[in-house]
Chains A and B, each alone.
Chain A
Amino acid sequence: MEQKRREFLKASGLLAGGIALSPFTSYGFNSQVDDMIKVALIGCGGRGTGAAAQALSTKQNVKIVAMADAFRDRLEDSYKSLTSKKYKDMAGKTVEGTAKVDVPDSRKFVGFDAYKEAMALADVVILATPPGFRPYHLEEAIKQGKHVFCEKPVATDAPGIRKVLEVAEIAKKKKLNIVTGLQRHYQPNYREAIKRIQDGALGDIVGGQVYWVSGGVWVKDRLPSMTEMEYQMRNWYYFNWLCGDHIVEQHVHNIDVANWVKGGYPVQIQGTGGREVRDGIKYGEIFDHHCLDLVYEDGTTISSQCRHYEGTYSRVDEAFVGTKGRIDSFANNNTVLKDYKGGVIYKHEGKGDGNPYQIEHDELFDAIAKGEYKFADAERTAKSTMTAIMGRMATYSGKLIKWDEALNSDINLFPDKLAWDAKPKVLPDENGFYPVAVPGKTRTV
């Protein structure tokens, strides 16, 4: 136990960094639980709660010790879900949620600054707020010397991405693990197929298509009691400072697979997009479709499509062509690499494969327990998020956007002040409509 604990402290840089407040003594847990890994959940929506449950379902001795959210109701719902669930302890025995979720009212933190206090009480933080907050929360977590599980995307604008890239460097120096929720990297059929593609099974990858075309997501009503800030926070999907548009929030998964397969990031993007069916006042400022050419350094173009239209063809998937063969789909965990004569180069049948959302946490907590540093997720996820933001820059402006100008953009979407009575930068007109980008007119870099 002692050995493990020491390794953990050393690995996490806490001893070397001379940080006085050891996470193991800061809370007064007694010695019988000294191998316990304490987790703070920052962002208590459905996904954050799910991530917390996955952290509690790893083989390590994990406890949730603090929770933070901007809204008290979201936090309480999450607390209720987590404590009503059953988990397994280290010995494999089923225990009640209350044994694993030790969050009295004094460790429930509500508001825009709640994350800082919650993080201070933990060894590992789960960041699952809307993505606009991610750069600031990541920065604080690494500053405090915490390991991180954070959801994708990791920012919504270029200044946010630059911050995450800086933080990723510091995390690397401090040997703090950051696992991000691009779960395809933890999904066996993707891992196996792409490993073979990178080993040359399909020759050079010279084209492909990536898709997130589906029916769209939830919309929340505006209540008379809400300030503009609360309305945007509750309806975060439809505001770019919080969500980044659906091209960033969802399609980043597929764009990231294109980058993964190509082993790099696009040097330039042009594209088209707009609002075809999202015409009401309740849909904020985001587009409902984007279509991109992602052009890589070797000249390869991968096409990317995302849209939110109900009642249309839907596909959330990726396909690639190489000089020796092709891969048509990763959907359904089944993946086949084929040559052009119809021969099967590799076939992955995913029935019974592990849950990638669980594998993310299994690998993170295993690394933490062993005192290992091995995750380069933060930098990669920042750059894939940047690719999606660059796609939005291209469709909103109608211009050809180059990687360097996109990454160096100074357009910062984040509000100058976070408070319930503060004004976000984008506001509705007298009829309730938010300004929407007009290609050819809107400036995005």
Chain B
Amino acid sequence: MRFKYVVLGLVLMTGSDVFSQSKPANYSQKIPGTNQEYGMVAIPAGEFMMGSPATEAGRNEDEGPQHKVKLDGFWMGSHEVTWDFYDLYAFKNMEKEMAARFPDPEKSIAKTDASTRPSPPYVDMSFGMGRAGYPAINMTQYAAIKFCKWLYDKTGVFYRLPTEAEWEYAARAGTKTAYSFGNDPAKLGEYAWYKDNSDGAYKLIGTKKPNPWGLHDMHGNVMEWTLDQYIPDYYAQKAKGEVKDPYAPVTELYPTSVRGGSWDDEAAVARSAARTPSSPSWKVLDPQLPKSEWWMTSASFVGFRLVRPFKTPTAAEIEAYYNPPLIEDY
């Protein structure tokens, strides 16, 4: 075993401000003992048509059939997770330094140290595209999940990756068009960093218009990890009868499902319904064996954002979520 899991204590959720209100509100998650915050947008429970109609330009087979999906409510990150945030988790020394700069005797960020952390990457994982204020990239789905656990250890609040359905529901923000602003890719530049305007690199988060629910960079900048295995005909399997909170648990390392286009993609890939399967080629530049379970090395177009369900899962469910079996990387 190259991994030792630290068994989580049965941390029960403490009632935070947001629960005392009758209707969940947007909030900002402060990270104790740092100057970092992460904006969370309340996404109400509801239903939507998942996938795209056969007539949509640029559509792929895996987006159909369109079918009705019902979802519980959740908060979703208003932005992609940045390096400022991710590096605190990836580099323990930076966390310690931050704790010294922002002392918080009650809840120092350096206090809890049960987290499994990424190994230091051999090369610069931002590939020179910038760090402060830019989206973190090149992490594996496993590393992104362990980031959520680290954040849980620091804040006591359960965060996880979005399911594919949650992601698309939030991206659409009540719209039925190819993009959350309509069907015309000519307008994409107002909302997204993609191949035609990115000049070959990701950009500072939140520098384009948000979607109707206030979420930035859902269409471009970096693609985002979801929680799901990528199953091409999953919608065909699910489309019979009512579909509630669909989710395809990961049983194989590849492909898993990634959503939203990136700085390196054509407009069609940035559509709300577009699905992208992950690939072993995303680790092609890792010269080591075994390959890193923390860094993709060749996925400078993939990042993630966080979700928090309105209804907090049980401690056992949380523990199971944060400790997925480590799948050997071939």
Q: Which residues of A come within 8 Å of B, CB atoms?
A: 46-47, 49-53, 78, 81-82, 84-86, 181, 183, 211, 213-218, 310-311, 313-317, 329, 331-332, 334, 336, 351, 355-358
Contacts and interface: CB of A to CB of B under 8 A. Distances in A.
Nearest to B87: A311
Instruction: Select the residue from A311, A329, A357 with max chain B CB neighbours within 10 A.
Output: A311
Q: Interface of chain A, helix or strand or loop or mixed?
A: mixed
Given A47-B288, A214-B124, A332-B200, A85 B131 contact: no
B91 interface: yes
Given A85-B330, A86-B330, A314 B131 contact: yes
B195 to A, nearest CB: 10
B123 A214 contact: yes
B46 interface: no
Contacts of A356: 285
Interface stretch (B10-18, B60-68, B114-122, B168-176): B114-122
A187 to B, nearest CB: 9
Contacts of A310: 87, 91, 93-94
B94 A311 contact: yes
Contacts of A315: 124, 128
B127 A52 contact: no
Contacts of A316: 123-124, 127-128
A219 B304 CA distance: 29
Contact of B288 (A46, A85, A331): A46
Nearest to A355: B284
B200 A334 contact: yes
Interface residues of B, number: 30
A215 B126 CA distance: 11
Nearest to A48: B289
Contacts of B290: 46, 49, 81
Interface string B76-95: 00000000000100010110
B97 interface: yes
Contacts of A336: 200
B285 A355 contact: yes
Interface string B187-216: 000000000000011000000000000000
B289 A49 contact: yes
Given A85-B289, A85-B330, A332 B121 contact: no
Interface of B: 87, 91, 93-94, 97, 119-124, 126-129, 131, 200-201, 264, 284-291, 300, 328, 330
B264 A351 contact: yes
Contact of A332 (B131, B288, B300, B330): B300
11 contacts: A46-B288, A51-B287, A85-B289, A213-B124, A215-B120, A311-B87, A311-B93, A314-B124, A317-B127, A329-B128, A332-B127
Contact of A215 (B121, B127, B286, B300): B121
A310 B95 CA distance: 11
Given A46-B288, A53-B289, A217-B122, A311 B330 contact: no
A174 B122 CA distance: 36
A389 B127 CA distance: 26
Nearest to B128: A315
A316 B119 CA distance: 18
Contact of A311 (B91, B201, B264): B91
Contacts of A357: 285, 287
A412 B23 CA distance: 73
Contacts of B94: 310-311
B280 to A, nearest CB: 11
Contacts of B300: 332
A314 B200 contact: no
B288 A317 contact: no
A332 B124 CA distance: 11
B314 to A, nearest CB: 36
A274 B208 CA distance: 42
A331 B120 contact: no
B172 to A, nearest CB: 28
Contact of B126 (A49, A81, A311, A314): A314
Instruction: Select the residue from A78, A82, A215, A336 with max chain B CB neighbours within 10 A.
Output: A215
A51 B126 CA distance: 25
